[in-house]
Amino acid sequence: MKQITITIDNQKINATEGANLLQVAKDHDIAIPHLCYHKKLSPTGACRLCIVKIEGQRGMVASCAVHVSDGMKVTAFDEELEEARKYLLDYLLSEHNEEYDGTYHDEFRELIYKYGLNNKENRRFPSIWKELGYPADETSPVLAYDAAKCIRCFRCIKGCDEVQGKNVLSFTNRGILSYIIGGFDKWGESECDGCGECIQLCPTGAIVEKPHRESINIENGIKKVRSTCPYCGVGCQLELWVQDGKVVRSNGVEGVSPNDGRLCVKGRFGYDYVSHPDRLTTPLIKKDGKFAEASWDEALDLVARKFGEIKEKYGRKSLAGYASAKTTNEDNYLFMKLVRLVFGNNNVDYCTRLCHASTVTAMLRSLGDGAGSNSIEDYETSDCMLVTGNNMIETHPVTATFVKYAAQRHDAKIIIIDPKWTPLVKDAHIWLQPRLGSDVALLNGMIRVIVKEDLIDREFIEKRVEDGMEAYEALKALVEKYTPEYTEEITGVPAELMQEAARIYAKAERPLIATGMGYSQQVTGTHNVFCLINMMLITGQIGREGAGLNPPRGQNNVQGVSDVGASPFTYPGYISVEDEENRRKVAKVWGVDPDELDGEKGLSTVEIMQAAYDGGIRGMYIMGENPMLTDPNLNHTEEAIKKLEFLVVQDIFHTETTPYADVILPATAFAESEGTYVNSDRRVLRVRKAVDPPGESRQDWEIVAEIARRMGKPLGNYRHESDIWDEIAKTAPIFAGISYDRLEQHGIQWPCPDKGHPGTATLFEERFNTPNGLGKLHPVDYAEQSERASEEYPLILNTGRILYQYHSSTMSRRNKALTDFANDAYVLVHPTDASKFGIADRQKVKIISRRGEIENISVNVSEEVLPGELFMPFHYSEAPVNRLTRDELDPYSKIAPFKLSAVRIEA
């Protein structure tokens, strides 16, 4: 971009040609007044306060609407301009309710004071806002709108449209009587999902948060702490507002990746669980079937003694641990270290085995790395996005804003593959709706189209795929039978739509695949992802900016927990536990003898429960996980947990799992912790302590370290979380160049091999991370699922997530702002099935599978699902859908098939 020189008030300034004049001034600390402009939005020119004079142009012009050019001479401040600004402010003020309660940042009020208009004697215009009868709208669960404070700057409307891609807000009425509405009238009756973008952008307090309005007073001092959102895997950067030792507000941090100020409803309003009265505050020990409060010494001594006794009696493989995707890398690293060094085995796993394990397995085998290959921001400039089994508007809402921006602003093509309707369908070019479990057939059909129409990238195949064209020919031979007609017969997807989708993807310049748990949570999950990778490799659609495969992680630190080695198969940095050289390397960092490290793979999540049922696992340590709601085949899980001789649960609340514990240890929430997370695009992000923890609760790593010490195996001398991170960076080369100092202002994407490396935004640009640097094709055939609809169980149940709840909802349901939006379990039933089985909308039903049953579930009759298929969210303890799911495993990744269970439905 060409660099030019302009002059503002006799100050010479270097700028990029074509840049926005007002933004150039702001970037050089020249504070031209404005209210309607925001750097994230297209210029409006509505408030006119940013007027300037430009040499050679007549009159005054709005600087927000000017692009700079070389030699431009600008006057930003003189007597005439200042008088005009005062006049404009005075006019706006006449229609404005200037009452101020100290709960929000009011940019308009600051300008009123700057220009002396707080003194009513300096005003020209009378106040008429009361006579105009402006309405107020408090129908939204999370925000309030006062039209008497609105200056019609368009920021909220443009933020909703241009940033969030929702277009819910607009004006009604005309001229002086116009005001903002949500949808057709009231906010609470509209499609507004509560993301709060409008609140953060509003310059006057016309739109404000409802939560904590009665207690916030920013003029009394607000502590602001930057941290990372504790919900999904986007890793949004938050600015937490703290008053009187309590988090009272959450704003998005502008100008920082990955979210640039954007948040979803959970990130903005889902923080109240931190100070909820249900928090665990002291250790609890079960005595005579009831929990009693205990001191830390009593609880930790008991834990250490019981684990030691079990290990002594049954051997080192009789113990196991569940790590947590909700806690920090530092917490999980020490937890993993405890299992390997103190328990003496590799029986450590976590919820990735229940969500994305098959994606990671397929990517590791094909590409040598299991993480997303691109950056979240790349979606904004993509020309084709293939979204497979991924309801990202509800599960990763901020990532979805970039996707929608590309479609709505740049005509990018969105292709959705999902048996269930998702909100992104509204922006999609093509929606392929295959029957549940038929994904391999659909993708093989798409690959055949690409082969037959010669849309492959031969040069890429020859240079970057193992065995080159020979491997391609094997894939070509396998997919030959997947004609459009045969594929349609299996999947139900119209042949012409499947063919068009294949062509669009293969021909795209910057195509991204976003594959979710709809693809991974199947017994064929690894095969599904193999097929995606096969299609990607033969078209050469990976290894450059804007092209690749990106599985969005479901929880805040799913990526990081795997990265730091909380896996039964790999140490930090994805090196195998079975390799002797790897054990030597890790042992050297840990200062132990390599023989102390178990050289056999450990048990995965579901296998641990099976071993508990069979008597192989006798003691368990569960940190921040809730298997009694999230594990498959819950009846079997319950029986397994009951057979344990000793169970420790470490959490911030009582959960569906804690009643089965012998000891409960109270841990800290994200806002009480220091550490790091890794988000979906491999970005290491800081988590910072904003408030003190309640009662006697402690950070997870401190508890883990103390248990290890009391079991006679201290894990190290850690004075601060940064000490743990530094050890992680020594153990895992992907983190070698990352330190807390470097993370102070922004995250860094791994791999980052040294202190001078900026991090890696795009993977595989020159080689894959396989031993030979080449990608590998894995041709796989379609196989019918082992569990199918039958006369007794005629429907297939699909499960998933919704926007307003999170995982097992122990956090999200303790936020009134979220439960006001959605707090009831339901099942989606197609109208055809509702009629067939005599089920009415809103009727309560029982759902029964071969493994269990649940009842009192409300029916939503909906065409969002196909005939013969149901959908239920899994968040609700009163509707534990996993009592219906099965624990059959994908043979490669050991994941369970949450997406496909044969059931029947009864009134």
- Which residue, 720, 749, 767, sits at the end of a domain? 720
CA–CA dist 179, 159 (Å, integer)? 16
Identify which of 321, 371, 366, 316 has the alpha carbon closest to the alpha carbon of residue 345: 316
Residues 531 and 410 in one domain: yes
| Enclosing domain of residue 850 | 795-906
Q: Cα–Cα distance between 682 and 385 in angstroms, integer?
A: 20
Q: How many CA atoms lie within 13 A of 802 on its CB side?
A: 22
The CATH number linked to 833 is 2.40.40.20
Q: Find out whether 618 and 319 touch, Cβ atoms under 8 Å.
A: yes
Encoded amino acid at 415, one letter: I
- Residues β-bridged to residue 454: none
Angle at 467 between CA 462 and CA 471, to 5 degrees: 95
Q: Counting beta carbons within 10 angstroms of the beta carbon of residue 452, is it exposed (0 to 12), middle (13 to 18) or buried (19 or more)?
A: middle
Same domain, 473 and 561: no
Region of residue 638 (left: phi > 0; alpha: psi -120 to 50; beta: else): alpha
Q: Name the DSSP class of 9.
A: T
Q: What angle do CA 314, 319, 320 make, to 5 degrees?
A: 160
Handedness of CA 571, 572, 576, 579 (dihedral sign): negative
Residue 293 lies in a domain: yes
Q: What distances in angstroms separate CA 867 from CA 373, 434, 835, 898, 903, one per listed residue?
A: 36, 12, 11, 19, 14
In angstroms, rounded to a whole number, what is the distance separating the alpha carbons of residues 695 and 296? 12
Q: 204 exposed, middle or buried (CB, 10 Å; 0-12, 13-18, 19+)?
A: buried
Residue 327: inside a domain, yes or no?
yes
Domains of the chain: total: 3
Please give the Cα distance from 444 to 526 (Å, whole number): 14
Q: What is the CATH number of the domain that holds 398?
A: 3.40.228.10
- Indicate whether 447 belongs to any domain: yes
pLDDT at residue number 219: 84
The whole-angstrom separation of Cα 104 and Cα 212 is 11
Q: Which has the closest alpha carbon to 906: 835, 841, 855?
A: 855
To the nearest 10 degrees (0 to 180), the angle between helices 484-491 and 495-507 is 110
Q: Which two tokens stand for residue 882?
A: 């996993």
Token pair recorded at residue 391: 């309801």
d(CA 622, CA 644): 12
Asked if 558 and 325 count as a contact pair (C-beta separation under 8 A), the reply is yes
Q: Does 245 map to a domain?
A: no
Distance of CA 177 to the CA centre of its chain: 40
Residues 392 and 540 in one domain: yes
Q: Strand 169-172 vs strand 179-182: parallel, antiparallel, or unpaired?
A: antiparallel
Round to whole Å and give the CA distance between 564 and 575. Answer: 10
Answer yes or no: do 346 and 395 share one domain. Answer: no
Residue 165 CB contacts under 8 Å (≥ 6 apart), including other chains: 400, 401, 404, 405, 408, 427
Tokens of 55: 């040499």
DSSP 8-state symbol, 317: G
In this structure, the answer to whether residues 874 and 895 fall within a common structural domain is yes
- The Cα 146–Cα 136 span in angstroms is 4
* CA 14 – CA 28 distance, rounded (Å): 10
Q: Is residue 571 part of a domain?
A: yes
Which CATH number fits the domain that encloses residue 660? 3.40.50.740
CB 795 within 8 A of CB 848: no
Distances (CA, A) of 366 to 165, 353, 530, 733: 35, 19, 8, 21
Residue 844 lies in a domain: yes
Angle (deg, nearest 10), helices 484-491 and 439-452 = 170
Quick one: how far is CA 621 from the chain centroid?
26
Same domain, 545 and 611: no
Residues 390 and 342 in one domain: no
646 φ/ψ angles, rounded to the nearest 5 degrees: -155, 130
Distance CA 603, CA 614 (A): 13
How far apart are alpha carbons 17 and 63 in whole angstroms?
Answer: 15
Residue 855, H or E segment: strand 853-861
> Does 614 share its domain with 708?
yes
C-alpha distances (whole Å) from 426 to each of 166, 367, 413, 421, 508 are 11, 33, 12, 9, 21
Angle between helices 700-710 and 329-337 (to 10 degrees): 20
Strands (E), 389-510: 413-417, 430-432
Pairing of strands 73-75, 3-8: parallel
Contact 344, 738 (CB under 8 A): no
Can you tell me whether residue 162 is helix, strand or coil?
helix
As a whole number of angstroms, the distance between CA 703 and CA 257 comes to 32
In angstroms, the CA 26 to CA 44 distance is 17
Instruction: Provide the 3-class DSSP secondary structure of residue 50.
Output: coil
**What pLDDT, on a 0 to 100 scale, did the predictor assign at position 433?**
97
| Same domain as 602, residue 638 | yes
Buried-exposed string 101-110: b where 16+ CB fall within 10 A, e elsewhere: eebbebbbbe
Please, what is the angle between helix 107-114 and helix 79-94, to 10°? 130
Question: Residues 517, 395: one domain?
Answer: yes
Contact predicate 816/555, CB 8 Å: no
Q: Is 799 in a helix, a strand, or coil?
A: strand
- Are residues 521 and 416 part of one domain? yes
Whether residue 297 lies inside any domain: the answer is yes
Which pLDDT belongs to residue 381?
Answer: 96
Amino acid occupying residue 694: P
What do you get for the CA distance between the two ends of the chain, in Å?
66
pLDDT < 70 stretches in the chain: none
Among residues 672, 698, 720, the one where a domain terminates is 720
Residue 147 lies in a domain: no
Q: What are phi and psi of 686, to 5 degrees?
A: -80, 145
Render pLDDT for 645-703 as a digit per residue (tens, 0 to 9): 999 999 999 999 999 999 999 999 999 999 999 999 999 999 999 999 999 999 999 99
Based on DSSP, count helices (H) and strands (E) in the chain, helices before strands.
28, 36
Number of Cβ within 10 Å of residue 233's Cβ equals: 28
Same domain, 374 and 513: yes
Angle, vertex CA 799, rays to CA 420 and CA 193, nearest 5: 65
The pLDDT assigned to 521 comes to: 81
CA dist 647 and 501 (Å) reads 50
User: Cα–Cα distances in Å, from 174 out to 37, 152, 179, 180?
Assistant: 22, 11, 8, 11
**Contacting residues for 214 by C-beta, under 8 A, at least 6 apart:** none
